[in-house]
Amino acid sequence: QVRLVESGGGLVQPGGSLRLSCEVFGSFLRINNMGWYRQAPGKERELVARISNGGTTNYADSVKGRFTISRDNARNSVHLQMSSLKPEDTAVYFCNGDMRTYIGGLTGPYWGQGTQVTVSS
């Protein structure tokens, strides 16, 4: 079993910053491709940022230059540094990823339970 646990959400004023973290627990060799998604009320879940096993990153156009995704393979974790936050960034943010197994395959993708980010004055 694999479990993703997000943390770091909260209430922040426009222009502020937050750092989200996602720790992965369970029986696997290492984290593989990881990403952050978000879902605002009444909207579909959308990709925010992703980072490959090799460190290649991709961002939604709406967050380019403001958000940075990073990973810590030794701690099986991935982070999302969010700066210059806007009210339209308000959403539940979900961690997502797949894992390399001990026998060389992949398992997943898995989702975390989500963490609320609210940008408001």
Residue 46's pLDDT is what? 98
Residue 104's pLDDT is what? 83
Residue-wise pLDDT for 40-79, tens only, equals 999 999 999 999 999 999 999 999 999 999 999 999 999 9
Residue 111's pLDDT is what? 98
Q: What's the chain's average pLDDT?
A: 96
- DSSP codes of every residue in the chain: -EEEEEE--EEE-TT--EEEEEEEEES-SEEEEEEEEEE-TTS--EEEEEE-TT--EEE-GGGTTTEEEEEEGGGTEEEEEE-S--GGG-EEEEEEEEEE-TTS-EEEEEE---EEEEE--
Q: pLDDT grade, residue 1 (50/70/90)?
A: confident
Could you give the percent of the chain with pLDDT greater than 70? Answer: 100
